[in-house]
Amino acid sequence: MIIVMKNQFSSERIFLIGYMGSGKSTVGALLAEHLGFHFIDTDVAISQLQGNSVAEIFSQDGEDHFRSRESAFLKFVTELDQVVIATGGGMVMSPDNVNAMLNTGLTIFLDCEPQILKSRISQSSINRPLHNDSKEDLLSAITQKLEVRRQYYREAHMIIQNNSSNPYKALEQIMARQ
């Protein structure tokens, strides 16, 4: 049972960071609903603004173009209030992005075991351009990339383990830490 009342949350802007498949969009949407905040998924917003899927943006315009759209969109959301933002897994690769999130809101890292990320990514219908590896290579690709990124994810204000298939468990942990 979640016992913290909506208006007791201390930040007006909450960023969820973590690897692909860590549950940012699912947990973020639940958290936003629970708090009565708006929910924004940066990948979805960038796709809508560009009129192309993230995979198409990567293949047609390149990763650098996507990253610059991602940083520009992040700047925009740092001015919004009462919002939960699920960020793309690579958002933290720019130190400016990390600073922007740390300085303007509460940043939550959803941490997850590589094996669980692998099974969520391989079951998902989303086309993820950075993980077109065959199933056998996927675990080692995730493990390597996560190893590099974890140091940036770990700068978050709050670290939540999200290995469970039940997203309400992560929601409860977040609310309990407030």
Where along the sequence are the contacts to ligand S3P (CB under 6 A)?
20, 24, 43, 54, 88-90, 128-130
* Least Å from the CB of residue 57 to ligand S3P: 9
Residue 11 CA to residue 7 CA, distance in Å, equals 10
Rounded to 10°, the helix 42-50/63-77 angle is: 110
Q: Which is nearer to ligand S3P, 54 or 100 (CB)?
A: 54
Write down the least CB distance from residue 104 to ligand S3P, Å: 20
Closer Cβ to ligand S3P, 117 or 171, answer by number: 117
CA distance 42 to 137: 27
87: left (phi over 0), alpha (psi -120 to 50) or beta: beta
Smallest distance from ligand S3P to CB 2, Å: 24
Q: Which is nearer to ligand S3P, 76 or 178 (CB)?
A: 76
Q: How far is CA 58 from the centre of its chain?
A: 18
Q: How far is the CB of 1 from ligand S3P (least distance, A)?
A: 29
Q: Is 12 helix (H, G, I), strand (E, B) or coil?
A: coil
